[in-house]
Amino acid sequence: MLNLTYNYKLEPTAKQIEIIEHNLKVCKSVWNYALYIRKLWYNSRSCDINKCSIISEYVVSPFEYPNYHAQSSALTKAKKTNPFLKSGNAQAMQQTLRKLDRAFNDMKSKGMGFPRYKKKMKSFNILSNKFEINGNSLKMPLLKNVKLRKSRDIPDGFKIKQVQILKKASGYYANLMIELDVDIPSPLPHGHAVGVDVGIKSMLSTSDGLIIHRPKFLNKALRKIKLLQRKLKNKDIGSEKWNKLQRKIALLHEAVANRRKDYHFKLARQLTSGVGMIFVEDINFTSWSKGIFCKQSLDMALGQFFNILEYVCSVTDTYFSKVDKNFTSQICPNCGTHTGKKTLDIRVHKCNECGYEQDRDIAAAEVVCNRGLTAVGAPVVKLPSNGVLAGTTV
């Protein structure tokens, strides 16, 4: 099964905007109440029965764990007596509960944080078999016929299975989840291999000698953002001028995010051109975003870039894999000797055993490439340090 997501900008009427905003409010209420019930269940069972506090304890009447099915059933009953819930779209509310359930599953399985209450809901999903695109309009159950900017056609054979209505500072968008009943085999290891090493000074370096310096997406708009934020500080919260400045700041941040994502796609296409295998480091970028270089790390958005690179590899028949990140800058890619830890001011790798000398980041990328080739079972040739890059397949 092949699944793709196409994004289109909507041009809704005033009445359709009112419907979208109302459903966002309903979905926000459903999310927050369902999260409150789940937190109630967790807090009532936060201690063992023989270790209760001598001061106070959180006691509620016993009830079963509020999973998706229990909360979905409770929502159906609540809609009969609550006009506010009844006015919302049933599919949108059910998908909100599914999203919350998925967030709790990710918290347990992937070690993510506890879900939070939402001040604003930015999107909701609708499942149906009645989606249809006629010219420049999208026919769907909630909004009936809504105009959209058809930037590209949907490929033949694909069916729209789900639509996500998304609210941004620049307007309303629709993410169309399309599906084609066909089996797509995963790319197999083949051809030329490239290792990718990421860092702060240079965004990434490849085993082929390519160095991409850190792009400063936010810095170009930061001066304007700071100026608007200083003006915002003097406005009354919730006033018309305050809302106007908030929207200007949001538009600047959205423009930065769009430039960053566009750059990531272009860079991913460049890296996969003429390449059969790409190996990257298996890094936890969440911890990067909490370090001393958190601002630079978040601006580069390397986690997003790796996701985009993996997607581009899947559509260009390029094998993608992650390898162990440990000691990539301490091992010689030519002979495998452990050369010891290097401080950040040392930018050149020099091996005392074989005499191999290379830029530090490129040498680390060669180590990543060698590890990837070893993992897929391809032989790695150790070359003498005569200007030829190590990690060449036979």
User: How large a percentage of the chain has pLDDT more than 90?
Assistant: 48
Question: What is the reported pLDDT for 310?
Answer: 93
Beta-ladder partners of 11: 147
Dihedral pair phi/psi, residue 45, rounded to 5°: -125, 30
Phi then psi for residue 145, to 5 deg, are -110, 115
**Both 117 and 250 in a single domain?**
no
Q: Do both 108 and 176 map to the same domain?
A: yes
Report which of 93, 159, 90, 165 is spatially closest to residue 129, judged by C-alpha positions.
Answer: 159
pLDDT tier for residue 327 given thresholds of 50, 70 and 90 = confident
Tell me the per-residue pLDDT of 61-79, one tens digit each, with 9 for 90 and over: 767 889 999 999 999 999 9
Whether residues 244 and 344 share a domain: the answer is yes
- 305 is a domain residue: yes
The reported pLDDT for the residue numbered 383 is: 47
Query: What are residue 213's DSSP bridge partners?
Result: 202
Question: Please, is 348 exposed, middle or buried when counting C-beta atoms within 10 Å of its C-beta (0-12, 13-18, 19+)?
Answer: exposed
Detail the DSSP E strand segments found in the chain: 2-11, 123-127, 132-134, 137-140, 144-149, 159-168, 171-180, 193-198, 202-206, 211-213, 277-281, 319-323, 348-350, 357-359
**Mean of the per-residue pLDDT values for the chain?**
87
Tokens of 59: 């006691």
Number of domains in the chain: 2
Helix (H, G, I), strand (E, B) or coil at 119: coil
Last residue of one domain, picked from the residues 180, 206, 240 = 180
* Residue 133 in domain: yes
- 386 part of a folded domain: no
Q: What is the pLDDT of residues 158-192, one digit of tens each?
A: 899 999 999 999 999 999 999 988 888 888 888 89
11 inside domain: yes
Statement: residue 295 has pLDDT above 60: yes
247: three-class secondary structure by DSSP: helix
- Residue 381: DSSP 8-state: B
Q: Does 223 lie in the same domain as 365?
A: yes
Regarding whether 303 and 164 lie in a shared domain, the answer is no
Task: Answer yes or no: is pLDDT of 386 > 90.
Answer: no
- Residues 154 and 6 sit within 8 Å (Cβ to Cβ): yes
319 close to 279: Cβ distance less than 8 angstroms:
no
Nearest to 25 by CA among 120, 92, 153: 120
Residue 251's pLDDT is 94
Q: Within this chain, do residues 216 and 306 fall inside the same structural domain, yes or no? A: yes
Q: Give pLDDT, residue 258.
A: 93
Predicted local confidence at residue 384, as pLDDT: 46
- The whole-angstrom separation of Cα 49 and Cα 260 is 52
Could you tell me if 86 and 117 lie in one domain?
Answer: yes
Same domain, 95 and 238: no
Which range of residues forms the domain containing residue 27?
2-46+57-180
Rounded to an integer, what distance in angstroms lies between the CA atom of residue 372 and that of residue 193?
9
Tens of pLDDT, residues 109-118: 887 888 999 9
Query: For residue 303, is it within any domain?
Result: yes
Please report the pLDDT score of residue 388 as a whole number.
Answer: 39
Whether 387 is in a domain gets the answer: no
Which residue in 394, 329, 334 sits closest to 365, CA to CA?
329
* pLDDT attached to residue 86: 92
Whether residue 47 is predicted with pLDDT greater than 90 in this model: the reply is no
